Structures are given as structure tokens and as C-alpha cells.
Amino acid sequence: MIRKNNNPAPIKDILSKLTIEELNIKGKKIFIRADFNVPLDDNLSITDDRRIRSTLPTIDYAIDEGAKVILASHLGRPKGKVDPRFTLAPVAKRLQRLLGKEVIFAQDCIGPQVEGIVSKMKEGDVLLLENLRFHAGEEKNDEEFAKALAKLADYYVNDAFGAAHRAHASIVGIPRFLPSAAGFLMRKEIEYLKGTVQNPVRPFVAILGGAKVSGKIGVLENLVDKVDKVIVGGGMAYTFIRAMGYEVGDSLVETEMLEFAEMIREKLIANDVKFYLPVDCVISQSIEAGAETKLVTTQEIPKGWRALDIGPASVKLFSEAIQDAKTIIWNGPMGVFEMDAFSRGTFAIAHSVSDAYALTIVGGGDTDLAVHRAGVSDAISFISTGGGASLQLLEGKELPGIAALTDRKEE
């Protein structure tokens, strides 16, 4: 989702693949792989439709160009079997409302019945296929399943950035059989996440949080010689603090990552990168609601207590560190923000990031949820729709779903 008008490096410098605008789709059947993996409540009502809305520009473009639009997605983990808890029927209803036009819903995603529906489609029609993961062939990247999906269309467009790191049939299988391009959301994700790291406006600040250092190894290694400042919060901070020789009570520490943490810290400092860790924290003996909490410095965490949020001095330190930033990438919360007692640090940083006069990019997953709960999502330049996919791009890796698309011919 795009917010401020802060543009990173031009897209042509970054994406060497075809995009939907380069396909002649009028009157053609276009298979759009979307990421409609949205949260549902017990009544199968959608509780958050941001992932659906983020693909609307691509769908609207295809409709306006007179294509026959075939949409496909996974939802949840039905493990290759039909499971009514994971039907995409609620998504079809929501899409119908958002598009303001009929969305045909197929009871399956392959087979004669689906092919019959597709054969009757007119220009501008929209069809949503049932959950791809109701077939085991999807996650196994089965060639016959990919062929059956490809048989439905003339062109393939991937707009499912949140699934682009998966080597599944609908992500890397179909492009073997059809001319394939990136949708608008996919293009934007690459532009912001990859383009910004390659060509940042400085000072460039990376804020990393979440539970474990091991989940961010690749990001830290990739950013070591690219950023001006690194701020580390969340559970992963205490592995760094322990590696420096301080006691951290019962706070989360990955003992197998201590050597790596110290190596990365020393490398950052040797590269003249300013490195920030929490100086105080909110601690508790349990994560239960109503449990006793204390505010202590990070060097005074007693045994039996663990750090679950950054404290106000850390908030002030981190906020001052990002004040002069021109580019900020944030991936991972500062604490267990889902619980009110440990949410203040994450929400305070969300406000500081949103107030910065900078291009601000938030990685998917928990950080996306945090900025929405903090009420500042509209003030963030770009919020990624992918958790694992955004991490892989920040690690400098190529995503299978992007690699599989048709290369653009250089003029």
C-alpha cells in the first residue's frame, strides 16, 4: 500500500521482468495469482481485507483493458484436501463489493467444470477459483497441476508478493507454460524493498526487531555495508546484549547465535555504522495478562525476569537516532506488542517512524499489524504485504516467484 510520494530508484533499473502493462491482454484470458490469504473469524467473515485491496489496481487494470480475469490464491493450510474452513467464497463476496461488479466463484481451480466457466467468460468478466491448496499439487509444485492451471489462460500475472518466496505450482510452475509478468503490487514491492536498499537516500536507518537473531541473519549480513545506522530491539536485542558480556535474566537468548551477534556488531562498528541497542526495558516474570512488570536498565535484569518491551529511555534514544533519517526500513516489533503491558515501545517507535521526514518502509507480518494498531499506517510510505518474502528481498536474495517471470527484452 502506497502512502507518501517518496520515490526510490526507477523501476526499470530494478525489475528486468515483464509487467502487466507490457502484455496485450484485450480479449485474452489472464490468470492473476493474488495473495488473498486473509484472516477469517469463526463465522468465515473476513476480519482484515488489506491483502485483497492491495491487488485491486492490477485487477481493475485488467478489467479496464478488456481481459477475461481469472483470479487464484491460497488460503490457510488445508494440506492438499478440501476443507470448508478455508474456502475462498468469502473473498469472492468481498471482491464483488470492492470491485462493484459480479465476481463468478468456481467450486474448484482445475478440471472440466472450471474450463466450462472460463469458456463462457466475456471481456471484463472476473472469476475467482477455489483455494489452490485444496490440491496437494500446489505445494508440491506438481507439473501436471501447473499445466492444468495454465490451460485456463493466455497470460500469467503474479501479484502475490506474499507468496513469491514459495516454489509452488501457481508461483513457479505456471510461468513455464505461459508468457508471465509482474502485477502492480509485485512491481511496487520490488521497487521499494530492493530498489531502496540498492539506492537509498541517506542517512539510511534499519530498525530490526522480533524474537530471534537467527530470523534476521541474512538481513543483517546484507545491510552491513549499506546502512548508516542499525537499531535493534525486540527479543533479538538480548542475544546481542548477552554477547557483550551482560546478564539478561531469563530474557530470550539464542546461545548458538552469540558469536555471530558479536561479529556483526563489530563489523557494523568497523564500517562506521552507528549501532543502537535498548538501554532500558519493561520486564516481567510471565506474559500473562495482569502480571507484575518493572522498568529496569538492560544491565539490571534480575534472574527469573525477562525483557518483553523496550523502555522510555530506549524509545527516546531510538527516536532521536531516526530524526535525521531520509530512508527508514523497519522489520520486527520492539516487544510483545500484542499485549497492552508490552505494547508501548513498539507503538512509540511506530509514531517516531511515521513522523520522520523520510521514505519509510515497513516489512510485512507483525510490523504491518503494529503500525495499524498504532494508528499510523496512513503516514508510512510503503507497507509490504509479505513477511517471509520481504525478509528474503532485504537479504538480497532473488525470490523464486520473480525469477520465474518472463524476462523483458532490452530495446
Angle, helix 312-321 to helix 344-355, in steps of 10 degrees: 20
Nearest of 198, 193, 228, 239 to residue 331 by alpha carbon:
193
Instruction: Indicate which residues carry an active-site annotation.
Output: 51, 212, 365, 388
3-state secondary structure of 202: coil
Q: Judge residue 224's burial from the number of C-beta atoms within 10 Å of its C-beta, 0-12 exposed, 13-18 middle, 19 or more buried.
A: middle
Nearest of 388, 390, 373, 379 to residue 337 by alpha carbon:
373
Going from the C-alpha of 110 to that of each of 35, 68, 89, 130, 132, the distances in angstroms are 18, 17, 16, 9, 9
Q: Which three cell numbers stand for residue 65?
A: 483493458
Please answer whether residues 132 and 109 qualify as being in contact, where contact means their C-beta atoms are separated by less than 8 angstroms.
yes
Q: Cα–Cα distance between 56 and 35 in angstroms, integer?
A: 11
Q: Cα–Cα distance between 186 and 118 in angstroms, integer?
A: 25
DSSP 25-75: -TT-EEEEE------B-TTS-BS--HHHHHTHHHHHHHHHTT-EEEEE---
